[in-house]
Chains A and B, each alone.
Chain A
């Protein structure tokens, strides 16, 4: 009993440390007047939240969402077959393929994006939403491929074989047996692809050239400025989809769900 309680104390400490950076964000988001050295705001307002009604915010929000959803759909669409191949099949060039998939996870995408910028300018992709979407695929595709590879590696294929033995066509066996088994993994992969795209700042700035406004750019310029109220409101709004997605994923992925893939977002 005592032992159990000791572990709960550590869990409580860990939860407090995790929550710590959110404390000033939430306080500032509603603070009207908060002079040093007051520990709590002396006046509360919703001034920061009215900023969300502005055009710049709507534009940034929509752009972030469009690019994020687009990158998610595209990277699951290409990461799913790649994950199946890597996780489920034995083939000769596998070492090379795994290396190629892991390379963008280790080597910063910044290095390659500066390189392709010139080509993007020539193709008319620079400063466009399409161009930003394309460079977001550099970090998201390897991510989904890696997560889905481990999902398919954990499957034995016995169920699919059983379905085939019972007369299902390869396509039907895949659609009705293998794919449903992979659904939780696909959800986790999709969540992470979205979060990676949603958090992306530098690739957007490089290729978007300032014409494609996204939420991280608003947050960045606010954070470099001098208004902690606006900064905190933006930060809270920027973090919300991440937390909502986490809650959704936890509901979806039962049991001891481990959402940690190959790299911190």
Chain B
């Protein structure tokens, strides 16, 4: 079916329009992924290795460090996503009737600020000599810096999660706000007139409207935090490390024989996130025009 406004295309024209982007994504991204996969099998003609095996996967998957890394990565990604999502929905609900332009600007600041800057700022607040600790000292809660709980390089990755929450909450909140300012407010007024209480209005009116956006945005956040490198590298402990850092460490190892293991970890990361991407696409149907 041809949707209104979609121009009927000669296939050649569309192909020409798509060609440059497809070339870049195909060569650099898909090609790179394929190279990662081939190298994970131990195939490195450049250094004289042409045998193909699953040794790297056996090494990686049976190593004790892998499971610790996988769990840590999942824990950070899930915790950051859940906290950001809940905060974002609450923030959007609280702010939906305030000046739309102003709240949009407030939320856009963290989206544009690099993760590294956020990580440094959060670290200077939650470290044991940071602003938080100084404030606690002023209130007489801690005497020495060591009395303040360790929130950096800590077991629970608090600093990492806080950084992600600061960065990603506004992103989800903007998506929710956009949904709320559409249909939801009118429908809610109707529901209120019909006698629905606030809980009922949220459950039956607001929630269904914002749900698709919330799911899509939080999945993007999950995939991003699952594969992201910078923040955990800077604020995390040396062991266990998240999977991307584990891959990087193997890759930078002076032993060339560690490279297939780095690539195997990459393939695992790619597989996990590709599954999430497929899920995301199913939920995000209707993207673009003329499906």
Contacts and interface: CB of A to CB of B under 8 A. Distances in A.
Interface of A: 3-4, 7-8, 10-11, 14-15, 17-18, 20-25, 28, 36-39, 77-79, 81-82, 84-92, 94-95, 97-116, 118-119, 122, 134-135, 137-138, 141-142, 145, 149-150, 152-153, 155-158, 191, 195, 198-199, 201-202, 206, 216, 219-220, 223-224, 228, 231-232, 235, 238-239, 242-243, 245-246, 250, 255-260, 262-265
B20 A119 contact: no
A135 B36 contact: no
Given A20-B125, A112-B28, A106 B277 contact: yes
A112 B29 contact: yes
A95 B114 CA distance: 32
Given A11-B99, A21-B121, A107 B274 contact: yes
A8 B223 CA distance: 33
B18 A85 contact: yes
Nearest to B275: A106
B130 interface: yes
A46 to B, nearest CB: 19
A104 B192 CA distance: 44
Given A28-B124, A94-B290, A21 B28 contact: no
Contacts of A91: 9, 11, 14, 290
Given A11-B99, A106-B276, A114-B36, A90 B111 contact: no
Nearest to A111: B266
B18 A263 contact: no
B56 to A, nearest CB: 13
A83 to B, nearest CB: 9
A119 B123 CA distance: 37
A39 B28 contact: no
B80 to A, nearest CB: 11
Task: Give the one of A25, A95, A152, A260 with max B CB within 10 A.
Answer: A260
A114 B277 contact: no
Given A23-B131, A107-B33, A112-B30, 18 more contacts: A3-B97, A37-B133, A81-B17, A86-B288, A88-B289, A108-B244, A108-B269, A110-B229, A115-B35, A115-B37, A150-B287, A158-B5, A201-B230, A243-B112, A243-B113, A246-B112, A259-B111, A263-B220
Contact of B247 (A10, A109, A110, A134): A110
B83 to A, nearest CB: 13
A224 B238 CA distance: 13
B105 interface: yes
Contacts of B191: none
Given A98-B287, A153-B288, A36 B133 contact: yes
A106 B44 CA distance: 27
B21 A78 contact: yes
Contact of A7 (B95, B125, B244, B263): B95
Contacts of A115: 31-39, 263, 266
B75 interface: no
Given A36-B145, A135-B28, A102 B277 contact: yes
Interface residues of B, number: 115
Nearest to A247: B105
A223 B281 contact: no
Given A81-B21, A109-B29, A260-B171, A239 B234 contact: no
A203 to B, nearest CB: 9
Contact of B24 (A36, A141, A242): A141
B288 A150 contact: yes
Nearest to A154: B289
B220 A105 contact: yes
Contacts of B108: 246, 250, 259-260
Nearest to B222: A106
A186 B115 CA distance: 24
A18 B28 contact: no
A43 B245 CA distance: 38
A37 B114 contact: no
B53 to A, nearest CB: 18
B178 interface: yes
B115 A38 contact: no
B32 A264 contact: no
A10 B98 contact: yes
Contact of A101 (B25, B101, B223, B280): B25
Contacts of A255: 101
B121 A265 contact: no
Contacts of A90: 2-3, 6, 8-9, 289-290
A152 B290 CA distance: 12
A256 B108 CA distance: 12
Contact of A100 (B22, B39, B97): B22
Interface string B118-154: 1111111100011101110110000001000000000
